[in-house]
Chains A and B, each alone.
Chain A
């Protein structure tokens, strides 16, 4: 679990790292702790998974991935873990989750995010998934995103 200093560190960095030559020193000064402590705490948060990674988040439209399709699938509950591992292992799937159905309007329990330069490319990749699922797929859809309404990331 995290303590108050970790929490202050998270609040100080959730908008991003300072763009100065010694960013961790700048954060340390703001928090009134030693730079080494900032770095040690970040290492620990990274090791424990509280920080998934430190890096840049590109706007995928701006870097050429203009089609983003949330592919959704209705697969048998008893087979979904094996299917999720198989589909999540495909190189073009960036996220893969099991989520609850909302019957009757939403029969899908497996979500796999697929990116491409065009909708055709995303559809072709969805066909690869459909091919792997075969008869285990009972219903499917692709929800293309047409606009980013907000992308600020986490705020505590």
Chain B
């Protein structure tokens, strides 16, 4: 993993939310961090290129736009794991996909523009892979706050 310096760490912690909406937002955040705007932009570019940050921008909640999200899982035979991962990842509706250590060893999030899109995406994955998708739509959300402080 790439080395992070003290400014990188503060930048990542500072930028996990609340990015300003104003004419020159990077200059504002740079001022808070005590660096200049060009340095902030260069660091963001590097952290994204190194995949320390997976993205930078607005996080959209598709349900608030009339769309739907679900968590789904597959039990993938080990010998076919890479092939099935490629088949699942090929769908643009697959927003995240993780390998987890369990009989259900592939867990992915589907995000679709309409509620019906979830069933269609699941049917496509089942056709492509020949495997049964287990669908675990959220019935209630008790808490979501994906902000983790840098620990390295």
* Chain A residues close to B by CB (< 8 Å): 1-2, 10, 13-17, 19-25, 35, 39, 42-43, 45-46, 48-65, 68, 70, 80-81, 84-85, 87-89, 93-100, 102, 105-106, 111, 115, 117, 141, 143-156
Is B127 engaged at the interface, CB distance under 8 Å to the other chain?
no
A sample of 6 more A-B contacts (CB under 8 A), given A56-B55, A57-B53, A111-B136, is A70-B100, A70-B107, A85-B142, A105-B103, A115-B148, A117-B151
Residues 139-151 of chain B, each 1 if its beta carbon lies under 8 Å from chain A, else 0: 1111111111111
Residues of B64-98 whose CB lies within 8 A of A: 64-67, 71, 85, 88-89, 92-98
- In the assembled complex, the Cα of A146 lies from the Cα of B106 at a distance in Å of 10
Q: Is the interface of A mostly helix, strand, loop or mixed?
A: mixed
Q: Which residues of B contact A16 (CB under 8 A)?
A: 48, 55-57
Task: Return the contact of A14 from the options B57, B140, B142 (Cβ within 8 A).
Answer: B57
A58–B13 CA distance with the chains assembled, in angstroms:
9
Instruction: Given A22-B23, A65-B148, verify A54-B96 contact (CB < 8 Å).
Output: no
Chain B: interface residue total (CB-CB under 8 A): 80
In the docked arrangement, what's the CA distance between A117 and B111, Å?
29
**A145 and B100 contacting across the interface, CB-CB below 8 Å:** yes
From residue A108, how far is it (CB to closest CB) to chain B in Å?
9
Among the interface residues A39, A58, A111, which one has the most CB atoms of the partner chain B within 10 A?
A: A58
| Contact A145–B98 (Cβ < 8 Å) | yes
B120 within 8 A of A: no
A54/B146 contact (C-beta < 8 A), A14-B57, A97-B141, A151-B96 known: no
Residues of A contacting B148 in the complex (Cβ-Cβ under 8 angstroms): 58, 60, 63, 65, 94, 115
